[in-house]
Chain A
Amino acid sequence: MSSDRQEGDVPALTEDIRPGTATDPEPGSDTEATVTVDGTEVSVPEGSTLLDAVEAAEAAGQGAPEGVGGTAAEVPALCHYGREGIGPRSTCRTCVVETESDGLVAACSHPATEGATIRTDAERAAEARSVNLDLVLSNHNLRCTTCGKNGRCELQDAAIDADVEEPRYGVLDDRDAYEPIDDSSSFIQIDRNKCILCNRCVEACNDVQVEGVLRVEGSGADTRIGFQSGVETMEDSTCVSCGHCATVCPTGSLVEKGIEDATTIPIPGFTQKNSVGKVREGTGETRGPMTPKKGDGATERQRASEAEQEATNAREAAAADEERRDWP
């Protein structure tokens, strides 16, 4: 994409990137550590988390005799990516294990300390993983039969592995609550009804590609993936269509155009695009890829838009601080 840059473009400045996320501490251990996972001792190097120890124990059990290595229970770690410096976001809490020293912890973001002892099958840990997985499903529209990620969806895999048949809290099945599918871009389709807010896309966009396009915005139930430029559609955003967000997306929320119906059940008229009944279409205009750092004009517009967005966010935040809704 860099070949599309115009003369006079300035390089991306990471300090101008506003992903809307907190600055977390480094999650890993300061030293190598020996950790006991369900009775199996494993050694993990410096920089490891308890999830690394769990994975090491799982690896130790593969092909080993019964009772040697492995873990007593499945630890989905749904939002975990573990590559390219993305994460851990530790949002889904489906990696909860019980430790002797700190009780229940999210394994993906808890440092592996020397001598730590954890149980994956502790009753409270198993309950927490199960409830939290169902909570993720409760805000996912689960229209797998039209979804382009059907069969290669990490949420689907986790639900199958956990034998979820009927999620406690149901699934997002309220047509009034659906967000329109953003089909405006020629390259990437966004279906926020399938988003689990794992933040991988935001980190890929900002920390790996350093494009500064995507961000987390809003709060509470209104939290969503939006655009740092304050626009509403992918077409109007400063996206350069690198596709990294779609690559890392665990569900069918960000899918490359052209394969959004790759696994849709072949029934006429049955498509991902019309699956929720609301679509934001593109204008059809041809636009070159953009970055937020391209030229002064774009920067000024972006800043004006950011200021407006910030004011809106502040108003919404202040309103949210009151118990404003009717009850029940």
Chain B
Amino acid sequence: MSDTDERVIRVPRGHDALRDAATGDTVAVHEVGPTGVGAVDPLITATAAGETAFYVDPGPDRVRSAAAALADGESAGSAGSPDAVVDGDGWTDALPRPDLQGLDRERHLLAGCGWRRPASPEDHDSAGGFVDADPDTVLDAAADLRGRGWGDWRRDEPVGPLWERVADSDTADPALVVNAHGTDRGTSADALLLASAPFEVLEGADAVARAVGASEVVVYVNEADEAAVETVREAIEAYPDPAAPMSVVTGPPVYRAAEPTMALEAIGGADRLEARLRRPDALPTLGRGRTRDGRPALVHTARTLGHLALSLRQNGDPTRLVTVAGDVESPATVELAEEEPLSAAVEAVEPAGEIDAACVGGRFGGLTDSLDVAADPDALADADLGTDGRVELLAADRCVLEFVGRRAQFAADANCGRCVPCREGATQLADLLRDVYDGDYDAAGVEELTRVMDGTSACDFGVDAARPARTAVARFDDTLAAHADGRCPAGSCFDGETSNDAAGDSTTAAAATDGGEPAPEVPR
């Protein structure tokens, strides 16, 4: 990696025609993972003498032309009409920052995505990876590290104290589960890390395994994320001297399978997934079959462990991975400093139309009309938004009531069926939202029901499932009330109505939200 004379063309895995077009005698071809920015896929880069040319979705002819130019000793920027060129001042171990939407931001945990060969220990080592950190250093680094995502046993809580407790106790034979099942397949940041930068995750897992004395590391992946499964398997094969055996287990492609206890059930071979009860004072266990005698298991997301690995070799402010999806041309996963507003992430995508609202924090995120909220989990919690690193943009013609109604119905259909507040609560919540169309808008009833779902559900599925409707009532009350009067401000719910017909000449779906407050900020 440090050879500045080397000429390299990087091609994303799975694009065999482009790889073949790039292949020649004198130019190295590296197959890399996705960048996380859908708008530039597939992205090909050509690098020579520290200069890198970027080609967005080129055909084989452009790639062949760029490869030929590099082979002839031309500069990277002069070959094949690149979409962007970065004139680096030397070799780099991270994807340079071109003037391309979504890639023109600082990347730390994502730095290797689209640049390093994902299953190459040499590439990861050259980037400063495989830090030989002693257990105390790991526990110190984890003191303020908070669990990322709803698949983490310590979501939004510091993981360090838990690891310290396990390390200090006589807990026999703990297991570490890397939960990369992800939130929404295709746009999961956890799956992106496994597909593109698996050594970041595995290094974090290895460090934890050493620190707590874990005897096994299980990487748990959604079976539908085939690239992640394949790549992390290769990376595990190539991992140098792991502290504990590493393996990959796939889980069914259903949303609830990411919940930590259901992840453990899936890994244990359960033929039906339902949430376990949790003890506040004990770790869950990982066992095969119907046994309570499994080993205590730490369950952390790929993001959490990747951020740990990064913090072991870099001093810097914490960052969060945020995936922007919904009404956009292509989704993108970017990295924000925790104090940065979520609106900064929206700059990485091209919205499909005027954006008036967003769902923040995963499948069951909170509805908001402003993304002027820091990515910090405390700020998100204060705003009653989710922390699962996903922002779903809602275009002006998308109805908020329909959006939250569909989410409530999804919750009713996809929950595990175990506890009443989630199973029956989600069903009744969907019915309460349906009743709005018939003129019966019971805001107090929705608030009461979502309060109980949030407060008494057995797992975070039911806790979170309350949030979309709760926040819609809190922030889009007028929009919901308009439906009770037979009007859809977005113009999508009642036949023959347009937005203007429905909402009056000065009222939009978002402007109607705060009852006379200034028009809300458009989340850009």
Which residues of the other chain, A, contact B426 by a CB distance below 8 angstroms? Answer: 220
B55-106 at interface with A (beta carbon < 8 Å): none
The reply to whether B289 and A220 contact each other, CB–CB distance below 8 Å, is no
Total A residues in contact with B, Cβ cutoff 8 Å:
63
Q: Is B245 close to A, CB under 8 A? A: no
Complex CA–CA separation, A104 to B428 (angstroms): 21
Complex CA–CA separation, A218 to B452 (angstroms): 24
Q: Is B255 close to A, CB under 8 A? A: yes
The reply to whether A216 and B272 contact each other, CB–CB distance below 8 Å, is yes
CB < 8 Å: which of B292, B407, B458 contacts A90?
B458
Complex CA–CA separation, A113 to B417 (angstroms): 29
Complex CA–CA separation, A323 to B418 (angstroms): 20
The reply to whether A103 and B279 contact each other, CB–CB distance below 8 Å, is no
The reply to whether B448 and A91 contact each other, CB–CB distance below 8 Å, is no
Complex CA–CA separation, A168 to B429 (angstroms): 12
Q: Mark A141-183, 1 if CB is under 8 A from B, else 0.
A: 0000000000000000000000000001100000000000000
B270-296 at interface with A (beta carbon < 8 Å): 270-282, 284-285, 287, 289-292, 294
The reply to whether B420 and A321 contact each other, CB–CB distance below 8 Å, is no
Which residues of the other chain, B, contact A90 by a CB distance below 8 angstroms? Answer: 277, 419, 458
CB < 8 Å: which of B281, B292, B409, B455 contacts A23?
B292
In the complex where A20-B272, A93-B419, A321-B255 touch, is A127 in contact with B413 (Cβ < 8 A)?
Answer: no
In the complex where A15-B290, A320-B414, A327-B405 touch, is A103 in contact with B423 (Cβ < 8 A)?
Answer: no
Separation in Å of the B182 CB from the closest CB of chain A? 12
B393-414 at interface with A (beta carbon < 8 Å): 402, 405-407, 409-410, 412-414
Which residues of the other chain, B, contact A318 by a CB distance below 8 angstroms? Answer: 252-254
Q: Is A299 close to B, CB under 8 A? A: no
Which residues of the other chain, A, contact B423 by a CB distance below 8 angstroms? Answer: 197, 220-221, 223
In the complex where A217-B272, A220-B423 touch, is A320 in contact with B413 (Cβ < 8 A)?
Answer: yes
CB < 8 Å: which of A113, A132, A223 contacts B456?
A132
Which of A24-32, A54-62, A241-249, A266-274 is found at the contact surface with chain B? A24-32
Specify the chain A residue showing the minimal Cβ separation from B453: A131
Complex CA–CA separation, A169 to B424 (angstroms): 10
A285-328 at interface with B (beta carbon < 8 Å): 306, 310, 313-314, 317-318, 320-325, 327-328
Which residues of the other chain, B, contact A93 by a CB distance below 8 angstroms? Answer: 419-421, 456-458
Specify the chain A residue showing the minimal Cβ separation from B419: A91
The reply to whether B252 and A221 contact each other, CB–CB distance below 8 Å, is no
Separation in Å of the B422 CB from the closest CB of chain A? 9
Complex CA–CA separation, A106 to B421 (angstroms): 12
CB < 8 Å: which of A104, A219, A327 contacts B417?
A219
Separation in Å of the B472 CB from the closest CB of chain A? 14
Separation in Å of the B381 CB from the closest CB of chain A? 15
The reply to whether A219 and B416 contact each other, CB–CB distance below 8 Å, is yes
Separation in Å of the B36 CB from the closest CB of chain A? 23
Q: Is B268 close to A, CB under 8 A? A: yes
Q: Is A1 close to B, CB under 8 A? A: no
The reply to whether A135 and B455 contact each other, CB–CB distance below 8 Å, is no
Complex CA–CA separation, A68 to B262 (angstroms): 44
Complex CA–CA separation, A323 to B412 (angstroms): 10
Complex CA–CA separation, A3 to B498 (angstroms): 74
In the complex where A132-B421, A221-B413 touch, is A127 in contact with B402 (Cβ < 8 A)?
Answer: no
Which residues of the other chain, A, contact B11 by a CB distance below 8 angstroms? Answer: none
Q: Is A7 close to B, CB under 8 A? A: no
Which residues of the other chain, B, contact A168 by a CB distance below 8 angstroms? Answer: 445
Specify the chain A residue showing the minimal Cβ separation from B184: A321
Complex CA–CA separation, A106 to B294 (angstroms): 24
Q: Is B265 close to A, CB under 8 A? A: yes
The reply to whether A124 and B455 contact each other, CB–CB distance below 8 Å, is yes
B200-253 at interface with A (beta carbon < 8 Å): 252-253
* Residues of chain B whose beta carbon lies under 8 Å from any beta carbon of chain A: 252-256, 261-262, 265, 268, 270-282, 284-285, 287, 289-292, 294, 402, 405-407, 409-410, 412-421, 423-428, 431, 433-434, 437, 445, 448-449, 451-452, 455-458, 493
The 8 lowest CB-CB distance pairs between A and B, nearest first, are A223-B417, A135-B424, A20-B272, A22-B276, A131-B452, A321-B254, A24-B277, A328-B434
Return 28 A-B CB contacts under 8 Å, by A number.
Answer: A18-B272, A20-B272, A22-B270, A22-B274, A22-B277, A23-B276, A23-B291, A91-B420, A92-B419, A93-B458, A94-B420, A96-B456, A104-B456, A124-B451, A127-B452, A128-B421, A128-B455, A132-B421, A169-B431, A197-B423, A215-B272, A219-B415, A219-B416, A221-B412, A320-B414, A322-B410, A328-B402, A328-B437
